[in-house]
């Protein structure tokens, strides 16, 4: 008998797989239910190291399908939710916003509604909704996003996440649903689908392909190691206050071009290439529509109230990340071709 039955939505994705791994290994008294639709970014190969653990199960399901959610609740008596399932790539939201509305907004409301119906108010439940700093909009050269910063989303992706955040808060205030929320900065680390900046650049450098950089590359992002983000989710889930929101940042601001050039130097060293060889691959491309200039998180609340801080510097985390991708080229090749998702889709059925 498990003390908790925690549903992790999007558990086969980038951040989700790190959360599932951490919880499955750390809490033997919890059953961790990985609920994932297995879209292009969901890959059960990410979790092959825990898929035989007795406290881990996979349930293929879609948060946009209410019947799937009800089925997993009834099969495993879901006691808590860590909600990570989302469409997350800004470029994809610009070319096809409706998918983001359906998954990020309607899917989240489906989860909230089923939790409201299934959970009694006397029990100790948690609905932890994981969101993004992009809901706050764009910063100038100064200032940081705080939990009290007004929402000002600029892309269909961030608008859909802002809407889901508002619904989570509404279910807390209207129905008393026991919610917690976190908004994080850009994540990086192992098992990241290679459409995002860092894994894309690593893969292209390895294969000597062009390194596309938007505009002049001066957009600034705050980078958070995904392992530290999983630690933060663990901390908020167990220690955070019901109804509260926590910003999670890496305290690492880099312009895109500085980051790409740093990656080039690091990769040249690891691949025994001549200095500057990879930097020649950089190509400036037309800027993304509505490209936010700067994101930066004020993580002082989670540090002061919950005693969480990043465990590594960006340089340390990036070095470990590059090493992982170089050691797992087979994973990268399989993910980009889609082989693993097709294989596991046949293998795992709920």
Classify 66 as helix, strand or coil.
Answer: helix
**Which pLDDT band holds residue 348 (cuts at 50, 70, 90)?**
very low
Average pLDDT over residues 47-68: 97
Residue tagged active-site, from 36, 133, 147, 228: 133
At 309 the pLDDT is: 96
At 248 the pLDDT is: 97
Q: pLDDT tens, 59-109?
A: 999 999 999 999 999 999 999 999 999 988 788 898 899 999 999 999 999
pLDDT at 178 > cutoff 60: yes
Exposure pattern of 154-193 as b/e (b: 16+ CB <10 Å)?
A: bbbbbbbbbbbbebbbebbeeeebbbbbbbbbbbbbbbbb
Residue with token string 């939790």: 115
Classify 236 as helix, strand or coil.
Answer: helix
pTM (predicted TM-score): 0.92
Of the listed ranges 74-88, 186-200, 224-238, the least confidently predicted one is: 186-200
Q: Which residues pair with 285 in a beta bridge?
A: 214
**Which pLDDT band holds residue 345 (cuts at 50, 70, 90)?**
very low
Residue 132: count of CB within 10 angstroms of its CB: 22
Q: Which of 177, 199, 174 is nearest to 127 (CA)?
A: 177
Q: pLDDT tens, 330-341?
A: 888 887 775 544
> E strands of 27-149, at which residues?
30-36, 56-60, 80-83, 126-132
Which one-letter DSSP state was computed for residue 267?
H
User: How far, in whole angstroms, is CA 187 from its chain's centroid?
Assistant: 7
Q: pLDDT tens, 274-294?
A: 999 999 999 999 887 778 789
Residue tagged active-site, from 30, 56, 136, 157: 157
Residue tagged active-site, from 51, 68, 80, 134: 134
pLDDT at 343 > cutoff 60: no
pLDDT at 342 > cutoff 90: no
At 316 the pLDDT is: 95
Q: pLDDT tens, 102-154?
A: 999 999 999 999 999 999 887 899 999 999 999 999 888 888 999 999 999 99
Q: Quick check: is 120 catalytic?
A: no
Average pLDDT over residues 250-258: 92
Q: Quick check: is 122 catalytic?
A: no
Question: Could you tell me what percent of the chain has a pLDDT over 70?
Answer: 96
Question: 275 — alpha (psi -120 to 50), left (phi > 0) or beta?
Answer: beta
Question: Which domains are seen in the chain, by residue range?
Answer: 4-189+224-250+296-311+339-347 (3.40.50.720)
Pairing of strands 220-225, 253-255: antiparallel
User: How far, in whole angstroms, is CA 328 from its chain's centroid?
Assistant: 20
Q: Quick check: is 287 catalytic?
A: no
Q: Which residue has the higher pLDDT, 143 or 28?
A: 28
């Amino acid at each position: 008998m498990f003390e908790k039955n925690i549903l992790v939505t999007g558990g086969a994705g980038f951040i989700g797989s790190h959360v599932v791994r951490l919880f499955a290994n750390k809490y033997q008294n919890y059953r961790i239910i990985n609920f994932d639709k297995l879209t292009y970014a969901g890959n059960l190969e990410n979790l092959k190291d825990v898929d035989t653990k007795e406290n881990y199960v996979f349930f293929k399901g879609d948060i946009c399908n209410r019947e799937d959610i009800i089925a997993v609740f009834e099969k495993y008596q879901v006691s808590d939710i860590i909600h990570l399932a989302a469409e997350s790539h800004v470029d994809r939201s610009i070319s096809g916003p409706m998918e983001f509305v359906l998954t990020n907004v309607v899917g989240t409301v489906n989860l909230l509604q089923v939790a409201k119906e299934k959970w009694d108010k006397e029990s100790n439940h948690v609905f932890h909704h994981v969101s993004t700093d992009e809901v706050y909009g764009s910063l100038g050269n100064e200032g940081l996003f705080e939990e009290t910063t007004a929402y000002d989303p600029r892309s269909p992706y961030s608008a859909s996440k802002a809407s889901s955040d508002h619904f989570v808060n509404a279910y807390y205030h209207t129905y008393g649903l026991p919610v917690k929320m976190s908004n994080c900065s850009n994540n990086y680390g192992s098992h990241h689908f290679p459409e995002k900046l860092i894994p894309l650049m690593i893969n292209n450098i390895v294969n000597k392909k062009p390194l596309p950089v938007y505009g002049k590359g001066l957009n600034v992002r705050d980078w958070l190691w995904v392992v530290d983000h999983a630690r933060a989710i663990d901390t908020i889930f167990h220690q955070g206050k019901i109804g509260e929101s926590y910003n999670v940042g890496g305290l690492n601001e880099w312009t895109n071009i500085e980051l790409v050039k740093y990656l080039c130097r690091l990769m040249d060293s690891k691949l025994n290439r001549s200095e500057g060889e990879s930097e020649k691959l950089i190509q400036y491309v037309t800027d993304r529509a509505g490209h936010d200039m700067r994101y930066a998180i004020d993580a002082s609340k989670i540090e002061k109230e919950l005693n969480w801080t990043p465990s590594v510097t960006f340089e340390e985390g990036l070095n470990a990340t590059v090493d992982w991708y170089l050691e797992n080229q087979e994973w990268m090749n399989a993910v980009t071709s889609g082989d693993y998702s097709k294989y596991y889709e046949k293998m795992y059925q709920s």
